[in-house]
Amino acid sequence: MRTERKNFLDVAFDTYSEDALVERLQSVTAQGPYEFLVTPNVDHMVRLHDRNSAIAGLSDLYHRADYCLCDSKILALLAKWRGVDLPVIPGSDLTARIFTDVLNPGDRIAIIGGDESTPIQLTARYPSIEIVQHIPPMGLLKNATARQAAAAFIAGQKPRFTFVCVGSPQQELIAAEAAENPGARGLALCVGASLDFLTDRQKRAPSIVRQMKLEWAHRLLTNPRRLWRRYLVEGPAIFVLAYRWRKSAA
């Protein structure tokens, strides 16, 4: 059962606290009905409102998700300015909590994405968890066959949790396509690079930086070649979107 969702920028966000969500996820089983979780951040929201986006129906996909969590403190600040209180549950934090507080010995998880070292590193840290992996090819956005193969892997393996880590919107498309497979079970989480943080392949910003809501700046400084356009060119559009939405919603 969903929480009472709150609308911001035409996306309905769940209002779980992190602890309440973790408690709820403890009831997820590998035999239970399939669900999927999305974690919109500023980049996702800008894409959702881009009229030139090549992804038809992307907004509807977020609406269909069983869990829709605000992943961005900047997004939450803009929502608060609009009078909408959104709890922030970063996908990387939720992923860590699942491994420490939810998974049990013998549980099976699936990974969509990563490389050959990802399950090795996770197994070294969590040896009692069974890990299966599917590494799809590049170009998933325009490769429906490859996405369907990833969705079929989720359904065929029947993991308790699936971590879909191939970037947005590819990961959301795969998670939604898996829902069309009657054999799918468990919960799929669209969580980007969260497993890289868990295995220390990427470093989270220091706690003080996160508290100051500057984790985006830390990520930009540590990976400028990949992220400069997202944060400095495309990302600022979120302020225009929030301003316009505020006026139209008033």
Query: What span, in angstroms and rounded, lies between the C-alpha atoms of 30 and 71?
Result: 26
Cut 0.85: pTM above it: yes
The pair of three-digit structure tokens given for residue 25, joined into one six-digit string: 């996820």
pLDDT digits (tens, 9 = 90+) for 27-68: 999 999 999 999 999 988 888 887 665 566 778 889 899 999
Q: Could you give the angle at the alpha carbon of 100 between the alpha carbons of 31 and 167, nearest 5°? A: 75
Among 55-59, 91-95, 158-162, which is the least confidently predicted range? 55-59
Q: How far apart are the first and last CA of the chain?
A: 30
> Which one-letter DSSP state was computed for residue 63?
H
Q: What is the mean pLDDT of residues 202-215?
A: 59
Q: 3-state DSSP call for residue 148?
A: helix
CB 109 within 8 A of CB 165: no
Name beta bridge partners: 109: 131, 161
pLDDT digits (tens, 9 = 90+) for 97-155: 999 999 999 999 999 999 999 999 999 999 999 999 999 999 999 999 999 999 999 99
Query: What span, in angstroms and rounded, lies between the C-alpha atoms of 29 and 199?
Result: 24
Would you kindly state where each structural domain of the chain is located, as residue ranges?
Answer: 6-203
